[in-house]
Structure 1
Amino acid sequence: MLRTLLIPALAALTLTACSPNPITAPADGVLPPPPFTDDTMPAAFKDHLPWNPAGQDVKNGPMGLQYIVLKEGPDGGRQPGATDRVSVHYEGRLATGEKFDSSLDRGEPASFRLNQVIPGWTMGLQEMSEGDEYLFYIPSALAYGDQPRGDVIKAGDDLVFLVQLLGIEVPKVADAAAWQKYFPWNPDAPEVVKTESGLQYAVLSSGDAAGAPPVNGQFVLVHYEGRLAETGALFDSSYERGEPEAFPSNGLIEGWVEALALMKPGDRWMVYIPANLAYGAEGTPGGPIPPNAPLQFEVELISVMQ
């Protein structure tokens, strides 16, 4: 219905498993230092690279995954399921120690569903509870296999991740009370704002007053639910899918383009879009929107991407 563009955190691959390559300790039993170090390398990597699959603290996960528990969260912390959305901080390095990604460097946690990432992450995070901090050794077959990624990860590379599971996110849901209040749509309600084009909206909640609307087709991240304004029939909902959508702010039906140009990040509106600003006389042939159908949307502008 709306144009959907995905912004994956880590690309998911379905690959055959293998075990970590064994590392043989020298005769004196002392492992050499990591072959690649830098001043920013966290102690967990310095302490455990090169990876010793037979190390005292190493635990075996499924299909060749291995991990070390660095820190345990509070008692009673939840464990994520395979489709839960989680918030994590992480740093990823090759088994040789070279860094390729770090949310810690960016200062912003990553958020994604467990079934949207590499298999080693999907499996490993299900071993964790909220507040835990683990070091994962992910063999290449549970990572990117024979497909290089970016400038650092080469075909066949094994990966090591420092991961902090910050929390399991509760999915957002559509505002049932707002729908009860604003359906059917009443254009004469005192809070309804009308524009010259015929677009109408009511503000459910406001974001930062200092925020700026999207311009020049900037990408936006939104949650929304769309219904036929005449019948209330649901035809699309990012809330039901449990995933916000990202798309260029000028690449949608006219009513959406106009509404987004007026919204600031954090704003949540109920929007009425007349047919001529939606799908017009054609509707969506073979789809759920009939000809000349006005539409009603709950729209939450989560962020504008710079």
Structure 2
Amino acid sequence: MDPNDPLATYIPWDPQAEGVQTTESGLQYVVVREGEEGGDTPGPRDRVSVMYDGRLTDGTVFDSSYERGSTSTFGVGQVISGWTEGLQLMSVGDEFIFYIPTELGYGDRPRPGGVIKPGDDLIFRVELRQVVKAPEPRPVDEAAWDKFTPWNSDLPEVQKTGSGLEYVVLASGEEGGANPQGGDNVVVYYEGRFDQGGGIFDSAFKRGEPAMFPANRVIPGWVEALQLMKPGDRWLVHVPSNLAYGPQGNGPIPPNAALNFEVELMDIVPVQ
């Protein structure tokens, strides 16, 4: 192991080593570096961007954003419980090393075929780069759904693109706001309904928590719409089948289904 690697000092792990702190759950950690005073600390509904290095207790690397050369972004409550707890101890700019016992990690059910085996404890080096605070939950615009269901392309509010995508602007963000670029992560509230029948098949609004994902890794209709939006925009978007899941469908979405979405773009998190 590189002697300059902060983990070199802590492998093998010694819970009695200077600086090691232990929480009531059994999570152990060392503060390697502190960020500037007053930095954001994430809550359980927030999203974070981090650099990290994951090791088995013998030092074997099983995952590393450092090796990939880019941050990883995810919800604080969408990872193993040791991470969820540990991240909420950190502020932006902090670098911690965590020792996560198996019961706070993957326990007896790690991902099949991976390096991590049942019962493995794990060690992570984590740098907290950014916190995206979760917006307050909000309701869908039922009045807009009532007006535009079934979808009528001839209504004067409906705007159309050359691809066949159609949308209605329900609310606009600040003028001059940036549009998502390439692989930027977007934070959105949305609800998806079938064009035929109007049934709901997915709703971040109802879950009370926005979704976050790369703007270029969704169905083509979403990719196009997001590139036209700016933070604060709220649209109804009509996505024809060829810009959605096409003849193959996806889960509850049948083949050749046109879809309608209410989308509110809350924030853009550029790739670091």
Conserved 8 A contact 2:190-2:203: yes
Conserved 8 A contact 1:86-1:166: yes
Equivalent residue letter for 2:263: E
1:298 aligns with 2:259: no
1:238 aligns with 2:204: yes
Unaligned runs of 5+ in 1: 1-36, 213-219, 250-256, 278-293
Which of 143, 155, 159 is equivalent to 1:187? 155
Unaligned runs of 5+ in 2: 149-153, 243-258
What SS class does the counterpart of residue 123 from structure 1 fall into?
helix
* CA pair 148-248 structure 1, distance change in 2 beyond 3 A: same
What SS class does the counterpart of residue 15 from structure 2 fall into?
coil
Q: Cα offset for 1:296? A: 6.0
* CA pair 201-175 structure 1, distance change in 2 beyond 3 A: farther
Equivalent residue letter for 2:101: P
Which of 69, 73, 79 is equivalent to 1:117? 79
Conserved 8 A contact 2:237-2:263: no
* CA pair 295-174 structure 1, distance change in 2 beyond 3 A: farther
Conserved 8 A contact 2:45-2:134: no
Q: Cα offset for 1:181? A: 11
Q: Percent identity?
A: 35
What SS class does the counterpart of residue 125 from structure 2 fall into?
strand
Aligned counterpart, 2:22: 60
Q: Distance in 2 between matches of 1:71 and 1:63?
A: 23
Q: Distance in 2 between matches of 1:208 and 1:76?
A: 28
Matches within 5 A, 1:132-147: 132-147=94-109
Aligned counterpart, 1:266: 227
Aligned counterpart, 1:164: 127
What SS class does the counterpart of residue 25 from structure 2 fall into?
helix
* CA pair 266-171 structure 1, distance change in 2 beyond 3 A: farther
Q: Cα offset for 1:276? A: 11
- Please provide the CA RMSD for this pair: 4.5
Matches within 5 A, 1:1-306: 37=1, 39=2, 43-149=5-111, 150-171=113-134, 187-188=155-156, 192-193=159-160, 200-201=166-167, 207=179, 223=188, 225-226=190-191, 237-238=203-204, 240-244=208-212, 249=219, 259-260=221-222, 263=224, 266-268=227-229, 270-273=235-238, 297-298=262-263
What SS class does the counterpart of residue 166 from structure 1 fall into?
strand
* CA pair 146-76 structure 1, distance change in 2 beyond 3 A: same
Q: Which protein shows a greater Rg?
A: 1
CA offsets per residue over residues 43-70 of structure 1, 9 Å max, x none?
A: 2111121111111211112222111110
Q: Distance in 1 between matches of 2:168 and 2:27?
A: 51
Q: Cα offset for 1:206? A: 7.4
* CA pair 67-179 structure 1, distance change in 2 beyond 3 A: same
What SS class does the counterpart of residue 115 from structure 1 fall into?
helix
Q: Distance in 2 between matches of 1:153 and 1:57?
A: 27
Conserved 8 A contact 1:79-1:130: yes
Equivalent residue letter for 2:204: S
Conserved 8 A contact 2:192-2:261: yes
* CA pair 180-299 structure 1, distance change in 2 beyond 3 A: same
Q: Cα offset for 1:144? A: 1.4
Aligned residues: 224
* CA pair 87-179 structure 1, distance change in 2 beyond 3 A: farther
Conserved 8 A contact 1:171-1:242: yes
Q: Distance in 2 between matches of 1:56 and 1:298?
A: 50
Aligned counterpart, 2:247: none
Equivalent residue letter for 1:243: A
Alignment TM-score, normalising by the size of structure 1: 0.57
